[in-house]
With several copies, the nearest count.
Chain A
């Protein structure tokens, strides 16, 4: 489902955020990506979304080779991916409802489905009563849950979640993690970037650890590796 072949990402400023990364994630896998601040996790996610183009190496997602993909095809891959951004990236002049509905409009879901699925998704993340609010009227955690709802509403093939519980309390965090696990059980590939040691250690999933842009460990049923 996801392949990175010898991928290096050097930003125009000169920072090498990822270095010779080789990763293969199969369809249906649940993977944690961990690593200290600035180790390249967000860069990893942004490369998979083709928000960034690597300076070197080959990336393949859902059968599309990013080195050869045509500009017009990029939306097609992205529609197979549900993404939770570290800084949420909600559309600030649209309500909670419209933010989630937007993901469905993009894939041209008929309106009658949108009207049913969006409230259902908002109920799952506990924001059913806030559908009319604008992002600026929400707490940090509430915004994060809208972002999660938006990523999940289309039932995508792949979920990329960058620190999806950074602004959530333990109870909410666990609910989201369980939700992701359920979705994964139904066949969706899930990649979660997180700093939450407790969750990583408890869930016993594959854990990829980055350090200064290098994969220093990639273990099935692994745990959170503290830096020395």
Chain B
């Protein structure tokens, strides 16, 4: 294979894109559509996961002690556990003040009425949040097993709801991302296949004139890779600006949303999105043209 033949294949591949413009545009359009969909969905899932995370963090476990408990020791035993996300000590006084604040219209008066007789005298507690709420039941059991722990209070119902929601969303988005990838691969190779099949007569002619498989195929591969490259660059740019725009819109208008969870930074999203998108676009462009031409080269 001479240098000039390689150079020729390259130029010819680019020319083919222009000369089969309809197919080139159709292929690029298909790749753009699929990968755009993939990108949008991925961004949504990532952000949703981050939102779930902040929801989880609003779920806490309270731990109450025996009268003779060694609180220092317990604290050390618990806060070093790796499941623990945040850990706070709430004294009996704090608990009573909080409770009376929550319950009475005029809490000071109420507290004065009780005087030193704190009705929640035994209510000093730890307030703990976990990194993963689905571990709550297990962690509660661990806490209950510690000497000095009198009572562990947690809303198992809310934790379960959130963790099952989390699980559901996890499975569902994994499922959809998988299906999306499958569909993208199918649709893109579909267009590539058609684009090449339409030119099978041309391939046959080249072969009959004495061209080697490589010589026939090289321009198609160049074409496939370039189309794949264009087709994956566009949705990346689109998703980037769309995400930026949505972020700005949401931050401006729906401050309620942003108050409660942080959007995932664009950089973190694209760390994954760029390689995957390029791999799909360029990969299918490359493999698709190789596989599809093979069929027509047996002349």
Chain A residue contacts of B19, Cβ below 8 A: 93
The verdict on B246 contacting chain A, using a C-beta distance below 8 Å, is no
Residues of B within 8 A of A (CB): 1-2, 4-5, 8, 16, 19-20, 201-202, 205-212, 215, 299
Chain A residue contacts of B201, Cβ below 8 A: 89
Contact indicator B210/A92 (Cβ below 8 Å): no
Contact indicator A106/B2 (Cβ below 8 Å): no
Chain B residue contacts of A83, Cβ below 8 A: 208-209
Q: Contacting B209 at CB < 8 Å: which of A76, A106, A108, A110?
A: A106
**Minimal beta-carbon separation of A46 from chain B (angstroms):** 9
Contact indicator A78/B5 (Cβ below 8 Å): no
Contact indicator A110/B206 (Cβ below 8 Å): no
Contact indicator A75/B202 (Cβ below 8 Å): no
Given A93-B16, A93-B19, A111-B4 in contact, is the A106-B202 Cβ separation under 8 Å? no
Q: In whole angstroms, what is the CA distance A99 to B135 when docked?
A: 70
Q: Closest A residue to B18 by CB, please name it.
A: A93
Q: In whole angstroms, what is the CA distance A92 to B16 when docked?
A: 12
Q: Contacting A78 at CB < 8 Å: which of B2, B4, B20, B210?
A: B210
Kindly name the residue among A77, A91, A92, A105 whose own CB sees the greatest number of chain B CB atoms within 10 A: A105
The verdict on A131 contacting chain B, using a C-beta distance below 8 Å, is no
The verdict on A51 contacting chain B, using a C-beta distance below 8 Å, is yes
Contact indicator A93/B202 (Cβ below 8 Å): yes
Contact indicator A89/B210 (Cβ below 8 Å): no
Number of A-B residue pairs having CB atoms within 8 Å of each other in the complex: 51
Per the CB 8 Å criterion, the residue count for chain A at the interface is: 23
Residues of A within 8 A of B (CB): 49, 51, 75-79, 81, 83, 89-93, 102-103, 105-108, 110-111, 150
Contact indicator A91/B202 (Cβ below 8 Å): yes
Chain A residue contacts of B207, Cβ below 8 A: 75, 78
Contact indicator B208/A49 (Cβ below 8 Å): yes
**Minimal beta-carbon separation of B204 from chain A (angstroms):** 8
Chain A residue contacts of B202, Cβ below 8 A: 91-93
**Minimal beta-carbon separation of B23 from chain A (angstroms):** 11
Given A81-B210, A89-B205, A89-B208 in contact, is the A106-B299 Cβ separation under 8 Å? no
Q: Closest A residue to B199 by CB, please name it.
A: A93
What is the predominant secondary structure among interface residues of chain B facing chain A?
Answer: helix
Chain B residue contacts of A49, Cβ below 8 A: 208
Contact indicator A103/B4 (Cβ below 8 Å): no
Add 14 more A-B contacts to A83-B208, A102-B209 (CB < 8 A): A76-B210, A78-B209, A79-B210, A81-B210, A89-B201, A89-B208, A91-B206, A93-B202, A102-B206, A103-B210, A106-B209, A108-B1, A111-B4, A150-B209
Contact indicator B208/A51 (Cβ below 8 Å): yes
Q: Closest A residue to B203 by CB, please name it.
A: A91
Chain A residue contacts of B212, Cβ below 8 A: 75, 106
Q: In whole angstroms, what is the CA distance A51 to B208 when docked?
A: 7
Q: Contacting A105 at CB < 8 Å: which of B5, B16, B20?
A: B5
Q: In whole angstroms, what is the CA distance A83 to B207 when docked?
A: 12
Q: Closest B residue to A134 by CB, please name it.
A: B19
**Minimal beta-carbon separation of A155 from chain B (angstroms):** 14
Q: In whole angstroms, what is the CA distance A2 to B120 when docked?
A: 110
Q: In whole angstroms, what is the CA distance A103 to B209 when docked?
A: 7
Q: In whole angstroms, what is the CA distance A218 to B157 when docked?
A: 98
Chain B residue contacts of A106, Cβ below 8 A: 206, 209-212, 215
Q: In whole angstroms, what is the CA distance A81 to B207 when docked?
A: 12
Q: Contacting A108 at CB < 8 Å: which of B5, B205, B206, B299?
A: B5
Q: In whole angstroms, what is the CA distance A184 to B210 when docked?
A: 21
Q: In whole angstroms, what is the CA distance A110 to B8 when docked?
A: 11
Chain B residue contacts of A92, Cβ below 8 A: 202
What are 26 contact pairs spanning A and B, CB under 8 A? A75-B207, A75-B212, A76-B210, A78-B208, A78-B210, A81-B210, A83-B209, A89-B208, A91-B202, A91-B205, A91-B206, A92-B202, A93-B19, A93-B202, A102-B206, A103-B209, A103-B210, A105-B5, A105-B215, A106-B209, A106-B210, A107-B210, A108-B4, A110-B2, A110-B4, A111-B4
Q: Closest A residue to B20 by CB, please name it.
A: A93
Q: In whole angstroms, what is the CA distance A84 to B282 when docked?
A: 38
Chain B residue contacts of A150, Cβ below 8 A: 209
**Minimal beta-carbon separation of A98 from chain B (angstroms):** 9
**Which 6 pairs between the two chains have the least Cβ-Cβ distance?**
A78-B210, A79-B210, A93-B19, A106-B211, A89-B205, A75-B212
Chain A residue contacts of B208, Cβ below 8 A: 49, 51, 78, 83, 89
